[in-house]
Amino acid sequence: MTYIPHTDADRKAMLEAIGVDSLDDLFDAVPADLRFPELDLPPGLSEMETAWELNGLASANVAANDFALFLGAGAYNHFIPSVVNHILLRGEFYTAYTPYQPELSQGTLQAIFEYQSMMCALTGMEVANASHYDGATSLAEAVIVANAHFRGKRSKIILSPGVNPQYRAVVRTYHQGNDLKFVGDKGSATVPDLVDMLDDDTAMLVVSYPNFFGQIDDLAGLAKSVHDAGALLCMVVDPIALGLFKSPGELGADIVVGEGQPLGIPLSFGGPYLGFFATREKFVRKIAGRIVGETVDADGRRAYVMTLRPREQDIRREKATSNICTNQGLMALAACVYMSVMGKHGLRRAAELCYHKAHYAAQQIDALEGYSVDMSQPFFKEFVVTCPEPVAAINDVLLEHWGIIGGYDLSKDYPARENQMLLAVTEMNTKDEIDTLVEALRSAPDDIANHAHHHHHHS
């Protein structure tokens, strides 16, 4: 039997020791009429048959191994050094539980401590937790912290429309059971517009850096305005951008959250990813999630342990501010290994490559007839292209004729942004790929017209 090592002799001896006659007798407490139902599942397969089936499903997908990918919008195809996956496959790491027993978990604990330290260094914050589920839930948890900080006395959260639309949706899901009001993100408010919304009922203002459109907003003075209103400033950040741009700490943020997937974690159709969460030390007792601290053992040797445990659900129960327990531990390890091997110089280099390639692509595309790129503000690795045709039609052509997975159709989330495509260019996109994309976009309007003509003749 699969993964079950028992022999007939084992079963017999064990049942005897228990004092029952059969395995079925172990379930007498289950209502007899409902006991042992049929499961409508296929019969079990061998390992090789299972692998064949899974290979078949995997190869039915179009993916970045065979196609040039220019899609981002919250998940990115960045370089992952081989060493990351090799460390993740150490059974000592991936088959361990949450490090509740520190004497048997110093490996996981020190790695998390190092991860926390690197996230602090990257964001310019003083503390970071061991992770949340993803960037979106990190933001939802940041709102919980703000609400707890003001003990429910400030009810307004100002969200920039430049925060990833999925994150804003998740924040609303999380907070449907309380009285918080979310404002600011329904139109096209700029950062100064958001500042105008600050008042003494505002608990937190949230901006994205870069914003969802890839741009670096002018955030100078924002923190002062937010703090003058007595509110907190939360920044949603791209960790690769922080390899190049000023840290949120320097910009005055109180809470920094974001998606850690770019830090060594594969696209994997949307998960598992890594929600990172960093803040100033004064908020540490209000934040959720696991936190590792340094201490000593009975001999005085340096050691690590999960700390500030009384904040957590298993101790605080209904008074806990969050129910999180299992988080994204192994993904935090991936980010820790990634940031180690990339290091001070490698992360900067990767960020610069993104910047150069994105700017090259943007200039080439902006020069195409019928296309324009919004370069009114500094941008990092993503930018908005206004296209002569609907984005979906262009993407069909890119995929079918050119083997390119095109950009994100912004009209899905922003109805006013008809024909606007959000393109992502990373260090993984070669100049050849970019040049091919430019050629493909150049001919796309004709291809679409020909396609329509062709269909017309056959209908």
Partner 1 sequence: MTDELIVNKNGAPPPLEPLIYDLGAPGRTGAILPKPDVPEADLPADLLRDDLDLPEVSEMDVVRHFLRLSQFNYAIDKGFYPLGSCTMKYNPKLNEDMARLPGFALAHPLQDPSTVQGALALMYQLQEWLAAISGLEAVSLQPAAGAQGEFAGILMIRAYHLANGEAHRTKIIVPDSAHGTNPATTAMTGLEVVEIPSDANGDVDLDKLREVCGEDVAGMMITVPNTLGVFERHIQDIVDIIHGCGGLMYMDGANMNAMLGIAKPGDLGFDVMHYNLHKTFSTPHGGGGPGSGPVAVGDKLLPFLPGPIVTIVDEGDEGEPPLYGLTMPEQSIGALKAFWGNFGMLVRAFTYISINGANGLRAVTDHAVLNANYIRSRLQGTYPMPFERICGHEFVCEGHFKDADGIHALDISKRLMDYGFHPPTNYFPLIVPEALLIEPTETETKEACDAFVEAMLAIAKEAKESPDVLHEAPHVTPVKRVDDVRAAKDLILCCRVIPDWDAEAAK
Size of the residue set binding partner 1 (CB under 8 A): 210
CB of 145 within 8 A of CB of 279?
yes
Nearer to partner 1, 313 or 419 (CB): 313
Q: Does 442 bind partner 1 (CB under 8 A)?
A: no
Nearer to partner 1, 26 or 197 (CB): 26
* Minimum distance, C-beta of residue 415 to partner 1, in the bound complex (Å): 17
Applying CB under 8 A, among 8, 21, 47, 369 the residue interacting with partner 1 is: 47
Considering only CA atoms, which of 273, 216, 277, 217 is closest in space to residue 76?
A: 273
Distance CA 53, CA 75 (A): 27
Distance CA 255, CA 120 (A): 11
Considering only CA atoms, which of 241, 183, 191 is closest in space to residue 427?
A: 241
Which parts of 202-241 interact with partner 1 (CB under 8 A)? 216
* Minimum distance, C-beta of residue 271 to partner 1, in the bound complex (Å): 4
Applying CB under 8 A, among 68, 78, 99, 229 the residue interacting with partner 1 is: 99
Applying CB under 8 A, among 195, 203, 206, 405 the residue interacting with partner 1 is: 405
Applying CB under 8 A, among 8, 151, 300, 376 the residue interacting with partner 1 is: 300
Q: Does 42 bind partner 1 (CB under 8 A)?
A: yes
Per-residue interface string for the shown chain with partner 1, residues 357-386, x marking contact by CB under 8 A = x-xx-----------------x--------
Nearer to partner 1, 47 or 457 (CB): 47
* Minimum distance, C-beta of residue 265 to partner 1, in the bound complex (Å): 9
* Minimum distance, C-beta of residue 6 to partner 1, in the bound complex (Å): 6
Q: Phi/psi at 36 (nearest 5 deg)?
A: 55, 55
CB of 388 within 8 A of CB of 397?
no
- 223-239 burial, b at 16+ Cβ within 10 Å, e below that, comes to bebbeebebbbbbbbbb
Torsion region of 419: left, alpha or beta (phi above 0 gives left; psi -120 to 50 gives alpha):
left
Query: What number of other Cβ atoms are within 10 A of residue 305's Cβ?
Result: 20
Query: What number of other Cβ atoms are within 10 A of residue 184's Cβ?
Result: 22
Applying CB under 8 A, among 196, 199, 200, 281 the residue interacting with partner 1 is: 281
Applying CB under 8 A, among 21, 269, 369, 415 the residue interacting with partner 1 is: 269
Q: Does 284 bind partner 1 (CB under 8 A)?
A: yes
Q: What is the DSSP string of 139-186?
A: HHHHHHHHHHHTTT---EEEE-TTS-HHHHHHHHHHTTTS--EEES-S
Per-residue interface string for the shown chain with partner 1, residues 102-131, x marking contact by CB under 8 A = xxxxxxx-xxxxx-xxx-xxx-xxxxx-xx
Nearer to partner 1, 205 or 265 (CB): 265
Applying CB under 8 A, among 196, 221, 296, 446 the residue interacting with partner 1 is: 296
* Minimum distance, C-beta of residue 398 to partner 1, in the bound complex (Å): 11
Distance CA 218, CA 258 (A): 19
Distance CA 106, CA 295 (A): 12
Nearer to partner 1, 97 or 228 (CB): 97
In sequence order, which ranges of 309-430 are alpha helices (DSSP H)? Answer: 313-316, 329-366, 391-402
C-alpha separations of 197 from 157, 193, 206, 233, 409 in Å: 10, 7, 12, 13, 29
Which parts of 59-78 interact with partner 1 (CB under 8 A)? 59-65, 69, 71, 73-75, 77
Amino acid code (one letter) for 16: E
* Minimum distance, C-beta of residue 132 to partner 1, in the bound complex (Å): 9
Which parts of 324-343 interact with partner 1 (CB under 8 A)? 324-333, 336-337, 339-343
